Amino acid sequence: QVQLVESGGGSVQAGGSLRLSCAASGGIFSSYDAGWFRQAPGKEREFVAAISWSGGRTNYKDSVKGRFTISRDNAKNTMYLQMTSLKPEDTAVYFCAADRAGWPTALYRYWGQGTQVTVSS
């Protein structure tokens, strides 16, 4: 029901920062839990971060804790991933995802097309 579009990816040097955005349409975004996933070449898609419908609960992959911050602005129907201190191993296509609120979210039904993040050493 909801459509998701990621933006903000790009190429940066190690130690740099990027802010990814996920714009939602076609539904009331505040009704959805949401999250970020990533997939590197030859690797399985992996969980990065999640946020509850209200923004009151978050969860992170261990390797990004302290470096990445997930947030959302329901009035703007947008979710964000602020990434700092980027490392080459963060290189991947990043996807946003959403599903009806019901924290914690085990499965996400709605996905964006992905945005490329490349971190050079």
Give mean pLDDT in consecutive 10-residue pieces for the chain, a chain of 121 residues: 95 98 92 97 97 96 98 96 98 97 92 98 94
Q: Are 59 and 43 in contact (CB under 8 A)?
A: no
- What pLDDT, on the 0 to 100 scale, is given for residue 51? 97
- What pLDDT, on the 0 to 100 scale, is given for residue 15? 98
- What pLDDT, on the 0 to 100 scale, is given for residue 106? 87
- What pLDDT, on the 0 to 100 scale, is given for residue 85? 98
Assigned token pair, 39: 């997939």
Question: Dihedral of the CA atoms 44, 45, 46, 52 (nearest 10)?
Answer: -160
3-class DSSP state for residue 75?
helix
Q: DSSP letter at 15?
A: T
